[in-house]
Structure 1
Amino acid sequence: MDRQRIGFVGLGVMGSGMVRRLLAAGFEVAVFNRSADKAAELAPLGARLAASPGEAAASSDVVLISVATADAVRAVLTGDDGVLAAAAPGTVIADLSTVSPDAAREFATMIAGAGHRPLDARVLGNGRHAEQGELRFMIGGEATDVDALKPVLDVLAKDVVHLGGHGLGAVAKVALNMLMGVQLQAMSEAVVLGVRAGLNREQLIEMIVASGYSSPMMRFKGQAMLRRDYQRADFRLSLMRKDLMLAMTEAQRLAVPLPAVTAAYEMLTAALNDGSGELDCAAVLGQVEKAAGIQR
């Protein structure tokens, strides 16, 4: 099937980018978002606006869900006019949201129990990667269901890894997002130490970004840190904190110590309580600056 009908629920930075990519590739896409204005932006590009998650799923071969929390996924699946009741039997339902491994397994059981085909399909990348088809997918679920999603993956992804059973996609996403949180914290601490010792803030960030210690993520977020441009949130600070909390919960279950993640989580929590939750996660630098008595 070259052009599956797609129902897409959740139109944040990533979701909107993926829908734009799918529409440009010629897919028929029905979209739903809790904030209707985000869905309306996609109508001129050819998206069909749905009034509920169920309406988006009802005429679709594949349903993709990209929302912020496990509670939101649960509501999309089972709430009033939810996906499970409306989708045709055997529909592939891929959850792209970042949730705990336990939640991923719960949703897979729920979806399969309703007669559908679940995929624990987690995504790495940002909005630009989504629009350019350069996402990385880490998937748990049946191989035949991954194959059924291939026409969509061919458009959205530059790399797809099938990891095995349900929950393993979520494990991979949590483990990799840990690295992002820890790198942001380490970079922030390096900047603040250098500035307190007399280095020029802009020069220091530029040196870090250009160094062999940097990473693509640090180079990307370094630009926001350089300009203190945190309002345009590519990845909200509150979501970064949520992802580290997921990592710590799984680590507690498995008796794995995560001292670096714990430190990063504590600073993100302080930033959240200080009102920075809706800012880009690079704003953690501002919280480290505040803790060191540096004026922002």
Structure 2
Amino acid sequence: MSTTKIGWIGLGTMGIPMSQQLISAGYPVTVYNRSKDKEATLKKQGADTAATPAALFQQTDVMIIMVTDDNAINEIFTGKEGLLSAGVNGKIIINMSTVSPSISKEMAALCKEQGNRYLDAPVSGSVKQAETAQLVIMAGGDAAIFEQVKPVLDKMSKMATHVGDVGAGNVAKLAINTLLSIHTQGLAEAVLLAKQNGIEAATLMELLNNGALASPYMKIKGDAILADNYKAAFSLKNIAKDLRLSKDIGLSTPIGEAALKTFGAAEHEFGNDDLIAVKKYLDK
């Protein structure tokens, strides 16, 4: 059993199964979440809880954060009872959220002033991969710090890779999610084009799943379309958010900008659905 004390902030769709992997691996895990009912799920499995981010930071060695956006990160670090108010040093903070490279650079600088170290380490994969420790992790920050915490990251992933300085992990994740949006919109458009010309989605998906374009993602989202199941594994509003972050770091290519326009429009009605709900938007 590891003696590294893990602090965890953010018990959403991904945060719960990811933190459960660390509990199962024998790490002492203490959690903080604004919604206390989600903390109860982890307490049943052996996690402790902390009243505030600052209190959590004081009692753990490695802090892991998995939240939605830059605003949440800013509050967690600089809020009245945020991490930076704890007045501690010698800690490692791993921000696994999909956020902007700029917020990572800002928070890393503030952490360094206090004698703490920061890694941005977002993940590629969804709930199923989180539940089976098959995520892909891309980390930005000091390489030596990455190697120090890699055993922790390995418990949640099939691959954890250092990709560059602070912010590089965020850049890699935004590039991946830009491609994800393009694949998703492309599948939705193909299904609609086929249907407009008398070919049912089930027939098209059988062809796709047995051809050169076959992929696990194509099958998962194709099955969702066939089942009319748009429960969010990764919400449409979050892919729209990520595309806006991609735009902020220079996305200006034709297909990427088209995806940004489409998902940005679709999120007003289908934002809480899975991102494949772009098919419902296009169908209208």
| In structure 1, C-alpha distance between the alignment counterparts of 2:216 and 2:102, rounded to whole Å | 30
- Is 1:287 aligned to 2:284, yes or no? no
**Once the two structures are superposed, what CA deviation does each residue of 1:10-39 show, in whole Å capped at 9, x if it has no partner?**
111111111111111111111111222112
Amino acid of the structure 2 residue aligned with 1:258: T
Does the CA-based 8 Å contact 1:4-1:151 persist in structure 2? no
Q: Specify the alignment match of 1:111 in structure 2.
A: 111
| In structure 2, C-alpha distance between the alignment counterparts of 1:270 and 1:205, rounded to whole Å | 26
CA shift at 1:87, angstroms? 6.4
**Once the two structures are superposed, what CA deviation does each residue of 1:129-168 show, in whole Å capped at 9, x if it has no partner?**
1222211111111122112212312211211211121111
Task: Tell me: CA distance 1:132–1:149, structure 2 relative to 1, closer, same or farther (3 Å).
Answer: same
| In structure 2, C-alpha distance between the alignment counterparts of 1:176 and 1:87, rounded to whole Å | 36
User: Structure 2-normalised TM-score?
Assistant: 0.95
My pick for the range that moved more, 18-27 or 151-160, is 151-160
Q: Specify the alignment match of 2:239 in structure 1.
A: 240
Q: Give matches, 1:1-296, under 5 Å.
A: 2-86=2-86, 88-231=88-231, 233-251=232-250, 257-274=252-269, 276-290=270-284
Amino acid of the structure 1 residue aligned with 2:246: A
CA shift at 1:169, angstroms? 0.8
Amino acid of the structure 2 residue aligned with 1:222: G
What RMSD, in angstroms, separates the aligned Cα atoms of the two structures? 1.5
Number of residue pairs the alignment of both structures matches: 284
My pick for the range that moved more, 96-105 or 174-183, is 96-105
| In structure 1, C-alpha distance between the alignment counterparts of 2:230 and 2:258, rounded to whole Å | 21
Structure 2, unaligned stretches of length 5 or more?
none
Q: Specify the alignment match of 1:294 in structure 2.
A: none
CA shift at 1:102, angstroms? 1.6
| In structure 2, C-alpha distance between the alignment counterparts of 1:176 and 1:248, rounded to whole Å | 13
Structure 1, unaligned stretches of length 5 or more?
291-296
CA shift at 1:244, angstroms? 0.9
SS in 2 for 1:219: helix
Q: Specify the alignment match of 1:293 in structure 2.
A: none
Does the CA-based 8 Å contact 1:209-1:222 persist in structure 2? no
Does the CA-based 8 Å contact 1:59-1:87 persist in structure 2? no
Percent identity between the two aligned chains: 38
CA shift at 1:286, angstroms? 0.8
User: Structure 1-normalised TM-score?
Assistant: 0.91
